[in-house]
Amino acid sequence: MKYLLSEAQKDSYFQKGFLIIENLICKDDIRRLQLQSELIGDNKIDHVPVSSTQVEPEVNIESPIEKNLTLRKLYAIAIYDQIFWNHVVNEKIVDVISQLLETKDIKLYDDQLFMKNPEVGSEIYWHQDSASWTDIFPRDLITAWTALDDFTLENGCLKFIPGSHRFGTLGLDSDSRERKMERFLPLLKFKQWEIEDIELDSGSVSFHHSLLIHGSGKNLSTKRRRGYAAHYMRSLSWKDERVTNAPVMPKFCQVRGQSYENCV
Ligand SMILES: O=C(O)CCC(=O)C(=O)O
C-alpha cells in the first residue's frame, strides 16, 4: 500500500460518512486531467460518445451561450478515455478506497465529470447516491471526488450533512424536490445535521459514502468548476435483478483484485 490511513481518519469516515484528503493528487496529474476535461467538454475529441453527455436542465435553446458551456456533466468516460482511467486506478485513491471498504477487491460502478459552467452551472439538490443506484448492495459504495479546480462557496462547492449515511436510504431519487424536502428537512432541523461546506484546493480528494446526504450550490463565479467523481464498490457487491428502476450500466470494470461469480 502506498497510502496508509490513520485510525483517526478511518474513524472519522465511519462517523461522518466522508473523508477529505488534501493535495492527494500531484499537480502534473491535475493539469493532465484539466486539459483532458477541457478537450472533452469542448467536444474536441471524439472517443467519448455523445451518449455520455448531459446538458444543463434549464438552458434555453435560444440562449446565446456556446453549446460547450451548457454541458452539465459527462458520465462513464473512464471506459473510453485513458487519462481518466489512469486516474480511476491511481494507487493512492484505490488504497484509500480499499481501506475504507476493508477489501482489496474493487470495481468501478461509474464515473462523472461535473463541469458546473459559469452562469448556467446549476445547484445539485440534496440527495443520496444509493437512492439512484437502487440495485447495488450493500449500499456502501464510495465516491472519490477529485477537485480539478479550487472549490469555493461562490463556485458551488460540495455540501455534506455529516453522519447522515448512518440512517439508511431516506428518499428515492425519483422523488420530487418537494417530497425530498419533506423527508430531509426534519432531519436538517436537528443540531447534529448541520451542513458542512467542502471548500477544497485543486488536487484534493473528497471520499463520500453512497448514503451520505449531499449536494452542491450554483456556480456564481465566472469560471468552470470541474470535479471528477469516480464511484467504487466491492467486487463482492451484488446486483438485485428484481429492481426495475435502476440505471442501465455498462459492464463494471475491475479496478483492483479479483471478481467473484454471481457478484457485480
Ligand atoms: O459535483 C457536484 O456538484 C455534485 C457531485 C455529486 O453529487 C456526486 O458526486 O455524487
Give the tens place of pLDDT for each residue, 2-19: 899 999 999 999 999 999
- pLDDT at residue 62, as a whole number: 55
Q: In the chain, how many domains are there? A: 1
Is 149 contained in some domain? Answer: yes
Cβ burial of 29 (10 Å; 0-12, 13-18, 19+) is middle
How does pLDDT run across 127-148, given as a tens digit for each residue?
A: 899 988 989 999 999 999 999 9
Whether the Cβ atoms of residue 32 and residue 82 lie closer than 8 Å to each other: no
CA distance 94 to 54: 27
Q: What percent of the chain has pLDDT over 70?
A: 90
252-258 mean pLDDT: 98
Q: Is 145 in the pocket of ligand 1 (CB under 6 A)?
A: yes
Is 109 contained in some domain? Answer: yes
| For ligand 1, mutation pick of 216, 225, 228 (most atoms within 8 Å of CB) | 216
Q: For position 116, which CATH number holds?
A: 2.60.120.620
Residue 41 lies in domain: 7-256
- pLDDT at residue 252, as a whole number: 96
Is 264 contained in some domain? Answer: no
199-206 mean pLDDT: 98
How does pLDDT run across 35-88, given as a tens digit for each residue?
A: 999 888 887 888 888 778 888 776 655 554 566 677 888 889 999 999 999 999
Average pLDDT, the chain: 89
Is 263 contained in some domain? Answer: no
Is 66 contained in some domain? Answer: yes
Is 2 contained in some domain? Answer: no
Whether the Cβ atoms of residue 106 and residue 98 lie closer than 8 Å to each other: yes
Q: Is 163 in the pocket of ligand 1 (CB under 6 A)?
A: no
**pTM for the full predicted model:** 0.92
Is 262 contained in some domain? Answer: no
Measured in whole angstroms, how far is the alpha carbon of residue 65 from the centre of its chain? 26
Is 205 contained in some domain? Answer: yes
| For ligand 1, mutation pick of 112, 127, 228 (most atoms within 8 Å of CB) | 112
- pLDDT beyond 90 at 33: yes
- pLDDT beyond 80 at 231: yes
For residue 97, how far is its CA from the centre of ligand 1 (angstroms)? 18
- pLDDT at residue 72, as a whole number: 87
Measured in whole angstroms, how far is the alpha carbon of residue 238 from the centre of its chain? 20
- Bridge partners (DSSP) of residue 256 are 106
- pLDDT at residue 67, as a whole number: 60
Q: Is 143 in the pocket of ligand 1 (CB under 6 A)?
A: yes
Whether the Cβ atoms of residue 237 and residue 138 lie closer than 8 Å to each other: yes
Which residue lies with its CA nearest to atom 10 of ligand 1? 129
For residue 261, how far is its CA from the centre of ligand 1 (angstroms)? 31
